[in-house]
Structure 1
Amino acid sequence: MQEIQIPNGYFQLWQMYLIERGLNGLQLDFMHNQREQLEHILSLPIDTQSSYTFFLELVQRTQQHLDCPQLIFDMARYIRPEHFGLLGYMASRSHSVAEAIHYVMRFSRLVIDGSAATTLQVYQSGDEIHLSWPCIHEKYALIHEMTFACIVALARQIFNFNQPLLKSIHFAHAAQNSIYHYQKFYNAEVLFKQSEYQLVLSLESLKLPSQQADPSLIHLLTKQAEEAIAAKPNEISLAQYIHTWAADYLRTENKIPKIEQIAAELYLSTRTLQRQLDQLKTSFKKIIEIERMKRCEQLLLQNMSLTDLAMHLGYSDQSALTRAYKAYTGHTLLQRKQQIKLFRQVRNDK
């Protein structure tokens, strides 16, 4: 599996944070052995990408040596559109939150890329909009925390985006910090050990306008983003494409797609598609199971019965669905339904 690549803007953000504290990241003793690599990354254009693993080490060392467990939140407060490169500029010049989300879905590979990276999924439940990502592996917890904090901080700058428009934040991993720091930064409900990562917004937030909207510049930036995406290796996006295709199929057909269907759409033989997915360290079966669980979460929010859930997701019966959900999330479906019910009661009481 190709290592995830993240924007060099994150490294620049780290350096900016230290400068504000009167420090030079390149001169810190604990970065002595990595100084050459760090110097190289900081010399690159801000919209290029570098190793997530190195950034993870960088942040962990900084947290430890500066005794700053809330480092992610402190860094995120300095976020600027340029730290997200082209996509950041597109978000800042969008007409509304809805338009910015559209660009994020379309060009997310310009920010975080690699065969383990997954595309944003958006769906509506009542008066809420859910922006969700599946949990691939707990080793990516930090990049989810970093990206969520930066997205929310940047949205507040561009759209005056705040509670109650931001309703809740869902993390698939356990809390990496004191709950106090999460609640103070997001000023919204923050949940951990969920089945997937989510930003939950109010439906009305999609209409929030940007004070810097610029349709002419957006047109130019879109052309640049399309060219940048086209220059990336196609094989990296294969799994992402199948994820999106499978999610759409499950939503519209209410049954499980077959690998022969997507192979035909891609003009590949079934065996060739299986081989290509195997090279990416995944499989059609794994992708389908992830998308089934994501769709399960969406339908649970619609208060669908477990029997109907099993039918819509292509399981033989309710028991098969229950076993699959427990294996994927570590929680039972009954626990999840009770949790959703409790959250709704609490929200209605506010």
Structure 2
Amino acid sequence: MKELQIPNGYFHLWRNYLAEQGVNGLEIKQIQPYKKQIENILDAPIAQQSSYPLFWNIIEITQKQLDKPQLIFEMAKGVKPEHFGVLGYMATRSTSFAEALSYILKFSRLVIDGDEIIPMQMHQEQQNIILSWPYIDDDFNLINELTNALMIELGRKIVPLDNFPLRRVGFAHSAQMAQFHYQKFYACEVVFDQPDYTLVMSTESLNIQIQQADPSLLQLLIQQAEEAIASKPNHENMARQLHLIIAEYLKIQQQAPKIEDIAKELHVSVRTLQRQLKDLGSSFKQILEAERMKHCEKLLAQQMSLTDIALQLGYSDQSALARAFKAHTGQTLLQMKYQLKEDKNQSL
């Protein structure tokens, strides 16, 4: 399983839930091999991060032991700001829903962190605000479901229930339990096997005022969060992470990003990003061009016109796209279109 770091607060949430059920989680027979590791995590500061694979193991064991496939939804009912660390307190002390979302986007690494993780994005479609992030693989199904549920439940505790703005929840994976459990918890449309994970809310929700707002405390929390982010080591796999972010940007925004856009996503300066890539023997231009060509092939397979593809990928015209494609792949656009058509015919 890919390594991922999650808040110690998630382990505390698990222990507290079981205690409410009259169960000592550490005494469950199948959890005994992990007892010392879990005790060390529970003794450490709640805002620190620990191993996701370990958490996945104990949740799967607990689900089977209690015969509760809906365990994560029952656990979510007990969520408190401290289970998300400093970010949880920032969300509850923000002045508005829009401000809380901005901090969630900026400081998400304080909750879930790892080389495979792409920052959550927010965009608007008509009267909807959409938070989205990509599918990686099935190893992440549990953490996506749990973190989704925790965010929504914490939101319900800081926003008046009759104003709660959730309209739709989309999962990139298939349902992990009977669908009525999802419907009961989210109380809105829930869909599965989508291109990305999404939370859809009304644009009006951005103006909702948070009842527990505390601007003075919030400034101290922001400083603490910035220091925590700065203390995190840079991922050795920066180039891979950047490939994933640019690919997602091209898919969602349907235009080529500028380096300023990506630096903002990563919450670093342009100069810092350029220096980190140079140390890795790469550059933003090289990575952007590689992802443009991959996306170009996808758009060709969708029978999009070359003019529209060039516009969407940020080239001045069809000729500029053709030159870039030939230089990068050694093939012409027409050769690639023919190859894609042949591949499609053979698969039928």
1:41-90 deviation line (CA, Å, top 9, x unaligned): 11111100111101111110000011011001000010000000000000
Partners of 1:109 and 1:225 lie apart in 2 by 10
Q: Kindly indicate whether residue 287 of structure 2 is the aligned counterpart of residue 284 of structure 1.
A: yes
Q: Kindly indicate whether residue 123 of structure 2 is the aligned counterpart of residue 120 of structure 1.
A: no
Q: Per-residue deviation at 1:30?
A: 2.0
- Residue in 1 aligned with 2:14? 14
Partners of 1:237 and 1:151 lie apart in 2 by 28
What secondary structure does 2:107 align onto?
helix
Q: Kindly indicate whether residue 263 of structure 2 is the aligned counterpart of residue 254 of structure 1.
A: no
Partners of 2:293 and 2:192 lie apart in 1 by 19
Q: Per-residue deviation at 1:137?
A: 1.4
What secondary structure does 2:30 align onto?
helix
- Residue in 2 aligned with 1:332? none
Q: What is the one-letter code of the residue matched to 2:229?
A: I
Larger radius of gyration: 2
Q: Per-residue deviation at 1:164?
A: 6.9
Against the structure 1 CA distance between its residues 31 and 217, is the aligned structure 2 distance closer, same or farther, given a 3 Å change threshold? Answer: same
* 1:130-141 equivalent positions in 2, closer than 5 A: 130-141=130-141
| Cα-Cα RMSD | 3.8
- Residue in 2 aligned with 1:150? 150
What secondary structure does 1:235 align onto?
coil
Q: Per-residue deviation at 1:165?
A: 1.9
CA contact (8 A) 2:134 2:248 kept: no
Q: How many residues align?
A: 306
Q: Per-residue deviation at 1:284?
A: 3.5
Partners of 1:18 and 1:290 lie apart in 2 by 50
Partners of 1:45 and 1:172 lie apart in 2 by 32
Runs of 5+ in structure 1 lacking a partner? 278-282, 297-304, 328-350
- Residue in 2 aligned with 1:185? 185
Partners of 1:25 and 1:158 lie apart in 2 by 29
- Residue in 1 aligned with 2:76? 76
Q: Kindly indicate whether residue 171 of structure 2 is the aligned counterpart of residue 171 of structure 1.
A: yes
Against the structure 1 CA distance between its residues 29 and 253, is the aligned structure 2 distance closer, same or farther, given a 3 Å change threshold? Answer: closer
What secondary structure does 1:38 align onto?
helix
What secondary structure does 1:75 align onto?
helix
Q: Per-residue deviation at 1:267?
A: 3.5
CA contact (8 A) 1:92 1:212 kept: yes
Against the structure 1 CA distance between its residues 226 and 22, is the aligned structure 2 distance closer, same or farther, given a 3 Å change threshold? Answer: same
Q: Per-residue deviation at 1:22?
A: 0.8
CA contact (8 A) 2:238 2:277 kept: no
Q: What is the one-letter code of the residue matched to 2:37?
A: Q
Q: Per-residue deviation at 1:244?
A: 5.5
1:272-294 deviation line (CA, Å, top 9, x unaligned): 545699xxxxx93799379969x
* 1:47-58 equivalent positions in 2, closer than 5 A: 47-58=47-58
CA contact (8 A) 1:156 1:162 kept: no
- Residue in 1 aligned with 2:5? 5
Against the structure 1 CA distance between its residues 69 and 274, is the aligned structure 2 distance closer, same or farther, given a 3 Å change threshold? Answer: farther
1:222-255 deviation line (CA, Å, top 9, x unaligned): 0000111110002368355676577678888934
CA contact (8 A) 2:5 2:50 kept: yes
Q: TM-score, normalised by structure 2?
A: 0.76
Identity across matched positions, percent: 42
- Residue in 2 aligned with 1:227? 227
- Residue in 1 aligned with 2:316? none
CA contact (8 A) 1:250 1:313 kept: no
Q: Per-residue deviation at 1:309?
A: 6.1
- Residue in 2 aligned with 1:109? 109
Q: Kindly indicate whether residue 221 of structure 2 is the aligned counterpart of residue 218 of structure 1.
A: no
